[in-house]
Amino acid sequence: MPDLGALVEQSPIATVYVDAELRFIRVNDEFCRFVRLPREEIIGRRVIEVPAAGFDMTMIDRVLTGQVMAGAPLVDWPLEQAVDGTRRIYAWSAFRIAGHDGRLVGALGWLVDVTERERAAAALEQARARLDLLARASTQIGTTLDIDHTCAELADLVVPELADRFAIELLDQVLRGEDPGQDQPGNAAFARLRRVVVRDVQAGATASYQMGEQIIAPLTHPRIAALFGGAPLLAPHLAGDASQVTYTPQHAHTILARGVHTLMAVPLIARGTTLGIAAFARAEHRDPYNDADLRLVSDLASRAAMHIDNARMYAREHNNAVTLQRSLLPQAIPEVAGLDIAYRYQPANRSAQAGGDWFDVIPLEDGQVALIIGDVTGHSIQAAAIMGQLRTTTATLTRLGLPPEQIMQQLSRLLADHDTEAGATCLYALYDPATWQCRFTSAGHPPPAVRHPDGGVEFIDVPQGMILGVRHDCYPTTQARLAPGSVLALYTDGLVEQPGQDIDVGMTRLARILAVSPARSLDDMCDTILATPGRHASDDIVLLLARTTDATGHETHAG
């Protein structure tokens, strides 16, 4: 035993020897320092009886009994110690000792403090994880020009990896596509925000503010002051800072009751403009947020804010384009004898520019009525301007009594004189309620569809002249009888054309819907056609439906 005692005493690392009953026989000063006990309180006592500071002695006793004494040595087993809020990590190694006769004598073990090594490894891994998060942010955030979707993408990225609970609140002006300021005139003392996303790893967790709910807070509140001052807020230990980073006492109570113990609130700023604020919180994660976390989320927030601002400006331009487009279309459809009429205009959902789709309904003095629909190529202010000129010219020539084929020729000359590469398609239908006859002329436009009173649907074979503006072409006409109760459908190509899909597929879909749509309401029929599953509004759409009626204005129903 002297040799073993010398080994224990002279070892530069914490070393201990226990007998077969797991009683401490030898310990050195380094071991006493680790367990924070004098030698006399250790020697002679069993492992499970020693109140070693911060160690789980029950677990240690179990491992020694079931593994080490059974002949399976330990090598660098991780062992944790927690004292006064400080956590240290040791590498624990141990092996059994047997006498010459093979009988168990005891076990020798030692502890090496690897806290700093583990912290360095953890810091390196954390740095790698943060770089990976930033790399993924560049591809996973901003995949669409939609504000709500962009905010949801940020939530998907940070929960649960960086936060157990996450929320974004944006200024109301941002959601309206306006240039954000502190607030509207007359309410300069308050900021109005609206929660656009809230995410929690705990299903059904209570939130003080739900998605879409408005938050009104004074500009003097620390969280709002930080928002407009561009300074992030960090509450490593939320219990003492809750009033600084939450809006109301009830808000603070809710998140503390959820178990949130640390929180960061980071402004969303793009191009020098404040858009809103993102809040990151931890409950299940036991580590508090620190300055490194704050720098990381500030970077993420900056990237997300740029995409949110892009979406805001896109929404503003899109709204302006739609307003311009609608202003160039008929503001009201005149009542005409012999026809019931309904229409829809649906702007493209991805275009922030004005389109060139248009239509008109022009009653004539002789009782006839002209139904016109057209589509100028492209999405631009120029396309909208050309569309406006074509519509005005068509109305003027129609009221002068020119036949449809001559009107088409004049429109083509007008477009050619613009010296532009833009072209346009157009379909002109001249209907006479007295004879039920309708005369059609087309400049490269999709053919009209007719739903007959018996429910059958056909596309009228109108001779296709060249599109307007290409050359001064001839525009032949064709005639069809529309029985009372027939529904004539004029439309632009956005209704039947889809990227990567043959136009026949869209026309077949339109015919099927017309055949089964309610015969009573043209408005319902319009809504049903535009709400068709599988069709995406990648282009502007104009849909014009006209049902023929008898001389008294009553339609005939069949099918």
Q: State pLDDT tens for residues 85-133.
A: 788 999 999 999 998 888 999 999 999 999 998 888 877 787 788 888 8
Inside any domain, residue 86: yes
**Domain encompassing residue 146:** 120-320
**440 assigned to some structural domain:** yes
**How many angstroms separate the CA atoms of 541 and 494, rounded?**
5
- Claim to verify: residue 378 and residue 516 sit in the same structural domain: yes
Residues 339 and 236 in one domain: no
What's residue 28's pLDDT? Answer: 93
pLDDT value at residue 314: 78
User: What pLDDT, in 10s, does the model give residues 10-68?
Assistant: 888 999 999 999 999 999 999 999 999 999 999 999 999 999 989 999 999 999 999 99
Q: Pull the structure tokens for residue 238.
A: 């939320």
**DSSP H helices in 159-248:** 172-175, 222-229, 238-245
User: Where among 113, 141, 174 does a domain terminate?
Assistant: 113
**444: DSSP letter:** B
CB atoms within 10 A of CB 126: 14
Please indicate, yes or no, whether residues 280 and 358 belong to a single structural domain of this protein: no
Question: What pTM does this model have?
Answer: 0.59
What is d(CA 277, CA 280) in angstroms, rounded to the nearest whole number?
10
CATH code, domain with 502:
3.60.40.10
Q: What is the DSSP letter of 65?
A: I
pLDDT digits (tens, 9 = 90+) for 148-174: 999 999 999 999 999 999 999 999 888
Is 80 in the same domain as 126? no
> Same structural domain for residues 432 and 411?
yes
If DSSP codes are grouped into helix, strand and coil, which group holds residue 19?
Answer: strand
Whether the CB-CB separation of 558 and 455 falls below 8 Å is answered with yes
Q: Please give the C-alpha separations between residue 54 and each of 26, 40, 60, in angstroms, as whole numbers.
A: 21, 19, 12
Poorest-confidence range of 171-175, 202-206, 233-237, 418-422?
418-422
Domain-located, residue 49:
yes
CB 331: neighbour CB atoms within 10 A? 7
Q: Which domain-ending residue is among 113, 142, 177?
A: 113
**Could you tell me if 507 and 468 are in contact, meaning their C-beta atoms sit under 8 angstroms apart?**
no
170-184, 227-241, 457-471: range with lowest mean pLDDT: 170-184
Q: What single DSSP character describes residue 46?
A: B
Domain boundary among 320, 347, 371: 320
What is the rounded CA–CA span in Å between residue 483 and residue 490? Answer: 17
Give the percent of the chain with pLDDT over 90: 51
Q: Is residue 559 part of a domain?
A: no
Task: Decide if 129 contacts 292 (C-beta within 8 A).
Answer: no
Domain shared by 364 and 269, yes or no: no
Can you say whether the dihedral through the CA atoms of 156, 133, 259, 284 is positive or negative?
A: positive
How many residues are listed for the chain in this entry?
Answer: 559
